Amino acid sequence: MRLSLFKNKKGIGITEALVAAAVLGFLYVAVLNLNSGNHQAMLRLRSRDAAVEVAQVVLDSLKKNGLSMLQSSYDADTTFTGLTYKKYWARQYGNDSSAIDYDTELTVFADKNFESDASSLYKEQKVVYAKMVNVKVSWQFNGSTQSINVSDVIR
């Protein structure tokens, strides 16, 4: 009688337990890869947002200083290598911080695009009333060079 009680009881065998452990292991690795990809995407977006901020700082300083501070040629574009900006971020864990260097390049387009003719009885005069500028911000991310371009008109 006792022997028949144990024969009717079924449990989980070693094979089922190993298969379940293997499936859970694959799922764990998949979740880790997904988390790593999300972290890389977040870092890429954060570095791009900082590059847009650097470009805006350069454009704001040009607008503040005005049109007369921009040297340019009448019929050719003029390119200047700008400053290097360093941005810091606090890391999520610990007291560490990470930093990225942003290099800037400023292109002032030819003056002939923004020129007006003014004349009087005594003199004819050409006036440059605005200049178009392009700010290129570049930085290193995961071994490749990333860059953005922001253009604006300085009056």
Can you spell out the DSSP letters for 99-148?
Answer: EEEEEEEEEEPPGGGGEEEEE-SS-EEEEE--EEEEEEEEEEETTEEEEE
Contacts of 21 (CB under 8 A, 6+ apart): none
pTM of the model: 0.69
Tens digits of residue pLDDT in 2-33: 556 556 567 678 888 888 899 899 888 888 77
Per residue in 58-67, pLDDT (tens digit) is 999 988 888 7
Long-range contacts for 9-12 (Cβ within 8 Å, ≥24 apart)? Answer: none
99/20 Cα distance (integer angstroms): 43
Place of tokens 């300083």: 61
Which parts of the chain sit beneath pLDDT 70? Answer: 1-9, 11, 35-37, 91-94
